[in-house]
Structure 1
Amino acid sequence: MERVYPCSNKIVCICWSHDSRLLCYGSNDMTIHVVGFVKFENLRDCQIGGHTNIVIGSYFQSNNYDLFTVTRHGFLSMWSCSMKVEDLIVAKNLFKRKPENPDSEDDVVPDEENNEDMEKIAKKKRTRFLTYSRKSKTSLSKYLKKENVTATSSSYKPETRVMVVAFGSGDFLILDLSGDDHHLIHVLNISHSTVTSTCINSSGDWVALGVSGLGQIVVWEWQSETHILKQQGHFNSMKVISYSPDGLYLVTGGDDGKVKIWSTESSFCFMTFEEHKAEVTGVVFTQSGKAIITCSLDGTVRAFDMIRYRNFKTLTSLKATQFSCVTVDSSGELVAAGGQDSHNIYLWSLQRGSLLEILGGHEGPIVSIQFSLRLGSSKLISTSWDKTVKVWDAIANTTAKETLPLFSDGTCVAFKPDGEQFAVATMNGHITMFNADTLRQEYCIEGKNDLGAWQEDTDKVHANVNLKANYFSTISYSPNGEYIIGGGKSKYVCIYSVKDELTN
Structure 2
Amino acid sequence: MKTDFKFSNLLGTVYRQGNLLFTPDGTCLLSPVGNRVTVFDLVHNTSYTLPFAHRTNIDRLDLSPRGNLLLTVDETGRAILTNFHRRIAIHHFSFKSRVSALKFSPSGRHFAVGVGRRLQIWQTPSTPGTETNGEIEFAPFVLHRDSAAHFDTVQSIEWSSDSRFLLSASRDLTARVWSLDAEEGFEPTTLAGHRQGVVAAYFNAEQESIYTVSQDGALFRWEYVTKKDPETDEDIADARWRIVKKDLFMQNDAKVNCAAFHAQSNLLVVGFSNGLFGLYDLPEFNMIHLLSVSQSNIDVVTVNKSGEWLAFGSSKHGQLLVWEWQSESYILKQQGHLDSLNSLVYSPDGQKIVTTADDGKVKVWDVKSGFCIVTFTEHTSGVTACEFAKKGSVLFTASLDGSVRAWDLIRYRNFRTFTAPSRLSFSSLAVDPSGEVVCAGSPDSFDIHVWSVQTGQLLDQLTGHEGPVSSLAFAGDGNHLVSGSWDRTVRIWSIFGRSQTSEPSQLLSDVLSVAFRPDGKQVAASTLDGQLSFWNVADAIQEGNVDGRRDVSGGRKVSDRTTAANAAGTKSFNRITYSADGSCILAAGNSKYICLYDVTTGSMIKKFTVSVNLSLDGTQEFLNSRNLTEAGPRALIDETGEASDKEDRIDRTLPGAKRGDAGARTTRPEVRVTCVDFAPTGRAFCAASTEGLLIYSLDTDFVFDPIDLDITITPSTILATLDAAKASAESNTVDDDNTFLKALIMAFRLNESKFIRAVYEAIPPSDIPHVVRSVPTVYLPRLLRFVALAAEETPHLEFNLLWFESLFSCHGRYFKDNSGTFAPELRAVQRAIDDIRENLKRLTEKNLYDLNYLLSKPILADKKPTSVLLPIAADDVEGGDDEMADADDSEGEGEGEWIGLE
Deviation at 1:370, TM superposition (A): 0.8
From 468, 484, 506, the equivalent of 1:404 is 506
**Of 249, 265, 289, which residue of structure 2 is paired with 1:186?**
289
Distance (Å, rounded) in 2 between the aligned partners of 1:56 and 1:422? 60
Task: Sort the Cα spacing of 1:64 and 1:460 in 2 relative to 1 into closer, same or farther, 3 A.
Answer: closer
Q: In the alignment, what sits opposite 1:135?
A: 244
Q: Partner of 1:436 in structure 2?
A: 537
Choose from 52, 61, 80 the match for 2:223: 80
Q: How many angstroms does 1:482 deviate by?
A: 2.1
CA distance in 2, matches of 1:164, 1:292: 42
Aligned runs of 1:60-459 on 2, under 5 Å? 60-64=203-207, 66-80=209-223, 132-141=241-250, 146-177=251-282, 180-373=283-476, 375=477, 377-396=478-497, 397-406=499-508, 408-453=509-554
Partner SS, residue 551 of structure 2: coil
Quote the offset at 1:131 in angstroms.
6.3
The one-letter code sitting in structure 2 at the alignment partner of 1:135 is V
User: Does the C-alpha gap of structure 1 residues 247 and 22 become closer, same or farther in structure 2, counting only changes over 3 Å?
Assistant: same
Equivalent position of 1:25 in the other structure: 168
Distance 1:19 1:280 in 2: 55
In the alignment, the residues of structure 1 paired with residue 180 and residue 599 of structure 2 have an alpha-carbon distance, to the nearest angstrom, of: 58
> Which letter does structure 2 place at the counterpart of 1:432?
S
Distance 1:345 1:63, change over 3 A: same
> Secondary structure of 2:544's match?
strand
Structure 1 residues 187 and 379: alpha-carbon distance in aligned structure 2, compared to 1, 3 A threshold: same
Give the alignment's TM-score, normalised by structure 2: 0.46
- Cα distance change, pair 10–305 in 1 and its aligned pair in 2 (3 A): same
Q: Which residues of structure 1 form unaligned runs of 5+?
A: 84-128
Q: Deviations over 1:260-297 (max 9, x none)?
A: 22222332222222221111111111111120001101
| Conserved 8 A contact 1:58-1:70 | yes
With CA pairs under 8 Å and 6+ residues apart, which has the higher RCO, 1 or 2? 2
**Cα offset, 1:497, TM superposition:** 2.7
* Structure 1 ranges of 4+ moved more than 6 A: none
- CA distance in structure 2 between the aligned counterparts of 1:215 and 1:176, rounded to whole angstroms: 29
Letter in 2 for 1:498: V
Tell me which amino acid in the other structure corresponds to 1:315.
F
CA contact under 8 A between 1:155 and 1:164: conserved in structure 2? yes
Give the distance between the partners of 1:219 and 1:24, measured in 2 at CA.
27
- Counterpart of 1:48 (choices 162, 179, 191) is 191
1:362 is paired with a residue of what secondary structure?
Answer: coil
Give the equivalent residue in structure 1 for 2:142: 2
**Closer, same or farther in 2 for the Cα pair 1:244/1:30, shift >3 Å?**
same
| Letter paired with 1:399 | T
2:8 paired residue number = none
Q: Which AA in structure 1 matches 2:168? A: Y
CA 1:135–1:427 in 2, change beyond 3 Å: closer, same or farther?
A: farther
Partner of 1:120: none
Structure 1's 26 and 448: CA in aligned 2 closer, same or farther, altered over 3 A? Answer: farther
Give the aligned partner of residue 87 of structure 1: none
Secondary structure in structure 2 of the residue aligned to 1:262 = strand
Q: Distance in 2 between matches of 1:410 and 1:11?
A: 54
Segment drifting more, 70-79 vs 230-239: 230-239
Which range moved further: 423-432 or 167-176?
A: 423-432
Check 1:137–1:238 CA distance in 2 against 1; reply closer, same or farther (3 A cut). farther
Q: 2:570, 2:589 within 8 Å by CA — same for their partners in 1?
A: no
SS at match of 2:550: coil
Distance 2:407 2:343 in 1: 16
Mapped contact 2:505–2:540 kept (Cα < 8 A): no
Amino acid at match of 1:186: H
The Cα shift of 1:300 comes to 0.6
8 A contact 1:454–1:470 mirrored in 2: no
State how far apart, in whole Å, the 2-side matches of 1:362 and 1:447 are. 26
Secondary structure in structure 1 of the residue aligned to 2:427: strand
Q: Residues 554 and 592 of structure 2 are in contact (CA less than 8 Å); yes or no, is this contact kept in structure 1?
A: no
Q: After superposition, what is the alpha-carbon deviation per residue over 1:115-141, rounded to whole angstroms, capped at 9, x for unaligned?
A: xxxxxxxxxxxxxx9964333221111
Asked whether the equivalents of residues 46 and 130 of structure 1 are also in contact (C-alpha less than 8 Å), the reply is: no
Shift, 1:440, TM fit: 2.9
Alpha-carbon shift at residue 30 of structure 1 (Å)? 2.9
AA aligned opposite 1:414: A
Aligned mates of 2:551, 2:281 — CA distance in 1: 56
Deviation at 1:225, TM superposition (A): 2.1
Question: Which amino acid is 1:215 matched to?
Answer: G
Any idea what SS the aligned residue of 2:380 has? Answer: coil
1:190-236 deviation line (CA, Å, top 9, x unaligned): 23322222221221112122333333333222112223333333233
- Cα distance change of structure 1 residues 329 and 80 upon mapping to structure 2, 3 Å threshold: same
Identity %: 38
Residue pair 2:554, 2:593 contacting (<8 A) in 1 also: no
Partner residue, 2:77 = none
Corresponding residue of 1:476: 577
User: What secondary structure, in the 3-state scheme, does the structure 2 residue paired with 1:159 have?
Assistant: coil
Tell me what 1:493 maps to. Answer: 594
Greater helix content: 2
Shift of 1:478: 1.6
How far the C-alpha of 1:320 sits from its partner, in A, is: 0.7
Change (3 A) 1:260 1:275: same
| One-letter code aligned to 1:351 | Q
Q: 1:477 to 1:81 in 2, by over 3 A?
A: farther
Task: Quickly say closer, same or farther: Cα 1:436–1:5, change in 2 above 3 A.
Answer: farther
**Is the CA contact (8 Å cut-off) linking 1:454 and 1:471 kept in structure 2?**
no
What displacement does 1:72 show? Answer: 1.7
- Calculate the aligned-residue CA RMSD, in Å: 3.0
Residue segments in structure 2 that go unaligned for 5+ positions in a row: 1-140, 227-237, 607-902
| Aligned residues between the structures | 445
CA offset digits 1:324-363 (Å, max 9, x no partner): 0111011111111011111221111112211122122333
Relative to 1, partners in 2 of residues 1:158 and 1:346: Cα closer, same or farther, differing over 3 Å?
A: same
Question: Which residue identity is paired with 1:171?
Answer: L
